[in-house]
Structure 1
Amino acid sequence: MKTLPIVQIRTTPTVLNFEAKLGEYSIRQPKAELQMQTKPAQLTVESYPIELSIDQSRAFSAYTGGSMAEMNGRIYSGIQQLFLQNLAERVEQGNQLAAIHKPGNTVVNIVGSDWQARPFPESRGPASSDNVDVRFTTRQPDLHYEPAVSELNVIVNKPEIEYHRGIFDAYVKQYGSIQYTPPAIDIGL
């Protein structure tokens, strides 16, 4: 019995090699710049001095009589009053003398009671503890307020983004092959 010759086939596979490295992002954002300006508050106060006024004219009038015009005015008005009082008394005495027929209305009784001197009108003003006027005058201070003012300016910097590409390498590490080995043929006849 004869065997059939066998053909040998030998194959080697193709080997592909892949190397990959991921890409990288680099993100950097500089800090924001802050600019701030402040104008401080301002308070202005304007005050006024206190005014003191003292009026002693009535006190001087009570001490010395005051000015000549004031003294003459008081004497003149006092003499008018004195004249009117004396006139009224003389009229009364005349009325009593007219009624001489009544008992007690004698000339001696009427004229004899009029022996005291009449006082001269007062040339000085009235004396009082309130003759000096003291007056304080105050004014409220003027206030002017300016509030503080703040200015804020923010400068935002954009982010800086960089991308570094990754590596992708593909290559054939081993090529595929097919090898045929024919059987040995014996030609021996």
Structure 2
Amino acid sequence: MATSYELKASVRDRVGKGAARALRREGLLPAVIYGDKQPPLPIAVPIKETTLTLHRGGFLTHVGTIDVDGKKHQVIAKDYQLDPVRDDMVHVDFLRVGKGTTLTVEVPVHFLNEDKCPGIKKGAVLNIVRHTVELIVPANDIPEALEIDLANAQPGDALKISNVNLPASAQPTITDRDFTIATIAAPAGMKSEADSADGEGEGE
């Protein structure tokens, strides 16, 4: 399971814009825990710790624990709102993670050995089509990232979901085709030279 986090929280007894502003003045962030066939639970979490958790990365893919007045809840962040001017967090929605919970999450793609890629060394460029891939996966088996090795990628290669070693328990939400995640795109000059060389070969 991806590295988890823990946040302390307290139950909110008031909701609404005025109450939310008052909380933020106290260094607290309004949030809600919902799902798992239980009623929504309005809570307040510390702005500083929650913002640090967000900036560490993987906020929407890591399963975390929220300690609400001594009772611990397993959750995953499903959405958060930012202030349009200051870019500060203003609200977070957390989904309860129960036993056997399966989630749909966006998992980032990491490219390995870009500095060793023969296609890039020949002048091609890595063209990323998808920075993330949406997976259906058990909450306790969410991968940190999907990895694609570029060590043998040549100009013109398409790197597809079939090139990724997915966890056995995970599957992409797109199942009707072997979709492209990135390509090793040859620049126009390289294509012209290749076409010219092909033409000379045919003439001989």
Q: Which has the larger radius of gyration?
A: 1
Q: Which has the higher contact order (CA 8 A, sep 6+)?
A: 1
Normalised by the shorter chain, which TM-score bucket? under 0.3
Normalising by structure 2, report the TM-score: 0.15
Normalising by structure 1, report the TM-score: 0.16
Structure with higher strand content: 2
